[in-house]
Structures are given as structure tokens and as C-alpha cells.
Structure 1
């Protein structure tokens, strides 16, 4: 077992994984654990050594040192007294529990029926068992079985890989390790989520193997925040991803090679030196064409900037998505985007502006469009 440090100073682990080893250790739980580590989430997953050589009290101590609990309910979960002790301890700690109903239904956990029933019959008949403890196990399972979590059959139609991604995304949000943490005012106004869903709907209508989407709106309306929120929502679905911000400003300061170098570091994991824009174009194009890439080009004010960083569909592997934010619709049209590929962010954040600022912004917007 590998020791880890949680993102919270209060806890050693971000998440404690509770599971029956014989059911999921070498499959789903192992894949989930590896993916969590990949994204910087510290997870406790007990080892065979711990099960053989250490007391249950040691395992329960790891529960107390974890911020979030994730029981992975399989058909044999209730066969394990260790698992039942873990779930009881989790409920007693009164922290966030996110259950995963792997190959059982929530009702089986909640009411100890079907696959859970035989195990509890054996616990009940065991003369050496403390029946008060068995009743505690039942109450804990009832509590957790009523919680909202993840369901392999319902959420991903049995696709374990997709379920892993959903769980990782949820945990990244809970431990605040998403690529971008959005300001609280952007969240409570409720503007971001609506825009993200509308942009994703636009994306879903694309018939291209590589999709360019433009996000256009007046300065300060929240295009960058929308792009960050979309990136948070989608990045796990891609082999590689990158966000390049303030592109227009950096071009004005002749820092275009810096942008190309950042892109090669993010996507190609390379620190190769770039000495000209043309050389950078060649390196980026040949390096990305076999990858499924998510790319955000933010605050573009000239089509030549897009040409230097994402020159065309043939630069990317199938399934790639490129978002371009700009105040100038003509930039998007010059890049070959159609009206159906352009999202107009026209209302977001107006609530946080004063009336004078809104009027001034709209007047300016009308004068340039």
C-alpha cells in the first residue's frame, strides 16, 4: 500500500475505498485507484498484507484519516465482516459517503435482500457473533443504501471504464482538484452550468471527426469562465488537453513562441525548443495528429493566432475538440467556422454588473458588431 497526502491538511487521504477484494480488487477497484492517483487524488486501498497481518483497528484508523468514503458494493460485500465494520465506521464518522452500486441494486444494500440476504443469515446463525453488532451493520447499510451515488447499470449501462471517469470527475470536484476552480460568484449565480449545457448541445450536433466551436461575446461577459467550466467537464474524456489564455495579448507582446511551447508541453509532453512560428506549427501538427485532444484557445483576436496553434482539422486525431473564445465573430468565420459552430454568450454575468456598466458594454458591443 502506498502512503499518500490528502489535498486537505486535516486528512491524510482524500478518499477511503471500501470493497470486497475477491469481487473487485483485480478489476474495477484497481482501475479506479490507479486513475485517482493519476489525477492527484490520494486514495486508501487496503493491501493483502494489511488483511493478513494487521488488526481491524488499524484499518479503522485509516477511515478516520480519510476525508471521503466510497464503499463499492458488490454481490459479496456483506460476506466480509471487515467491509461491514468499515461501513459502520463510515456512518459513525458522519462525513461524505459516495456509494458505488457495482453489481447490486441500492435496495439490496438498503434492505439486505437478494445477494446480501444469505450473508446476513449466516451472521445471524453464528453463535460467536455479537448480534448487536450485526444489527449495527444492518442500520449502517440501510443508511448508505439510501444515499445518492453511482450505479454501474443505470449510469453507464454496465461500462466500467465510463463509471471510473464519472467517479474521478466527482471526486476531483469534491477535493477541489479540478483543473480550474471557478470563483464562487460564478457558481451561485447559476450562469455557468446553463452555458456549459448549451455549448455541449452545440458540440453534440457536430458531424465532424474533429470539431471547432467558437464562444463569442463582449469583453467581460464570462467567455473564459464558460471555457474553463467546459474544460473541467470534458477533460477526462481526452488523451491530452491544454488551455491557452490571453492569446491576443501575448501576440501583441510577441510571445507567440511561448504559446506554442506551452502547447507542446501540455499535449506532447515535450520541452523541445521552438525558434519560429513556422517551426512550431510543424512540430504541433505532426505531434497532435494521432491524439484525441481537448484544446481551449482563449481571447483570440486574429485568425493568424489560431492558424499558429490549431491550423486545421488535419492537425488532430479523431474526436478532438477545439474551443475558441473571442469578441470578434469575424475571427471565427475567417477560421472556417459556420454559424452552427458559434455560441453567442450574451447574458452571462450581467447580474453582477451595475446598470451603467451594462449600458456602456452594450453600446460598445453594438458599435463593433
Structure 2
């Protein structure tokens, strides 16, 4: 009667503890005991993208084989699947499962690989064509090649000139002033590059910037629970939100939720998503726990990171940050979302206070979306003064604004 065995899982293992499976590209190994295997790991253990890199070398009397888990020669299956190796302990009759990774071992021929590598790294396609023209080209082609080489500027000389000019500018203006100019230039990039997906041929204002491009049906379904909690906020809780500041747009729409159940649920989900956008704009470095306290679903959190943040490497780990250009994109998405929440009209003054951007910057973004500036009518009953809030509406056809060019007045001669 055959003996029975049990399976024991060893749990999660580090990359250094994983078993290694070799696959030779030029055939199968008849006697693996005659191969000497050596594994090398990356010396940069701080960078999370480099510390898992491994190179395996297998040496025999005739050939040497090399395999790696990164670069062009690495197998894609390691990132798509998890592999496990079972090791049977014959004494205890227990099968231990260990996680493994695959290596594609390729033969290295001495002399040939170094020559081909030098050619690939030092000679470009254009240089190879020039060499063919120089050897086998016609007289006309050779004359054109010589003329192009005479007119070519030495890259090292050009690099020295550029470095000298850059050092001169830094000495004249100072490093802090240059960094400030770069930040302002990045902040004032073309807003048209950061507007949501639009339909220029739409027949109704609601279809110009579709709401599905901002919140898909899957997102709405994921936000139902968080939206219902926000719709159930009491008057006292809304007053606390108003006093905290920078959520005035959200409080305004929560105080005027529609009576219809379907429209009320949709408006609450939009208000919750808007609160996440406003909170995202108020932070520079975003942690992976963003929105978890408010009950943000994982699918929505990943969407926010993917759309409105950039990845940077700092202090040995990858961080998500909201750059100046991403803040412009975030403001344009808030504008479009508020348009759908407010019957194609948005209060620019409240939004610029919530986003902590200047009112002129918000108006510039609204103009890039093609919105029409509206001057509100009537008076503020509580204060007895004219309402100075600036508003914008989406009216077809969209308005195309000309860029403002400042013209200096000439001084009169006396």
C-alpha cells in the first residue's frame, strides 16, 4: 500500500528565499550536476525597483549560461503568474511548497558576445548607413555625407557651450530665482492639455463633457455606500464642515439635495467624490492610506492616484505627489463635476477658495473649458449687498477666448 503524504505551505517568502527554476534556451541539460551555479543580486538595496534584481550564471567545461529577472532577456511570466516548487521530505512524508521564479538561461560565447554588444551600444542605425555609403555609395552620396559631416557640430563642444551658458545664467539670476520661474512656468502650462475628455459635436451641454468620463457606472456603484452616509449628514455636521473650510462647494450641494431618490443618490455620490478631489488638492505628498478614513473604495483611490498624481522616488521609497500641472487638471475636473451638479452653472468664487488657487487662475481654467462668464443678478438678502461671486455656465456653442496680450502704454514726450 502506498504511503500517504501531507502538504505544508511555507507562506510568503522573500526574493532571496525563493526557489530558482532554470530553463535553457538552446536545449535540455543531460547532467545538471556538472554545472556550477552562481547567483548575483543588486547592490542597490534601497531602491525598491532594483533590490529584487538577480543574475544567475551557470558554468560548464564548454559553455557558460547567463539568465536574469530584469531587462529584455527576462521572462514576462514572473510578473503574470506565481510559481511554486514542492519538496518532499521522505522521513516525515510532508510536501513543502516554496515560491519560485523562472530564469531563461542563454549561452554566452566568448569573444562573439562582446563584439556584438559593442556594435549595438556604440553604433546607431544612422552610423551604420553612413558606413555603407562610405564603402559602397556613389560619388553623389559620398559628397553629401562629407558635407553633412563638415556641418555637424561636435556634441562635446556643444555640451561645454551649453554648460557654460547655464552657469552664467545661474550666477546672474541665482538658483532660487530660476527655480521660482520654473515653478511658475509649470503652473501656467496650457490648460487645454488637462481638460477632461470632451465631445465638440455634442448637441446638448450635458454631452460636451460627459459625466461618465469622470465617474463611470462602476465608480458610482462603488460610491453608493459612502454617498449614502454623506447624504445622511445632519445640519450640525454640515455646519462643522462649513466651519472647517475648503469644502464650501460640497456643503452647498449637500444642503440642496433633490427629493427624488435616484437623483439624490447620484448627487450624494458626486458630492463625496468632489470632497475627495478637494482633499487631494490640499495635500502635496499623498500616502497610500488616502481616503480610507472616509470609506473611499480601493477602485476609486487607484483612479485618483492614476489620474491626478505622479510617482516620485524619495527617501528610499516611491511616493505619490500632486504636481503643479496635475493641480490644474484636478481643478478642471472639479469644474466639470460641479457643472453637472449645478445645472451647467458653477460658482467660481467658492471653488477658488476650496482649491486655494487664485480667482484669476480659476477663471483662466474655466475659459479654457469654453465656459461663459455670468454675472449673478439680485442681492444678498443677509448682507444687503450685491453678490460678488463670479459664476460660469456651459452654453452652446462654446466660447473661444483669445489669449490676453499685455500692451504697455507709451510715455508722452513733453
Q: TM class, shorter-chain normalised?
A: under 0.3
TM-score by length of 2: 0.22
Larger proportion of strand: 2
TM-score by length of 1: 0.24
Larger proportion of helix: 1
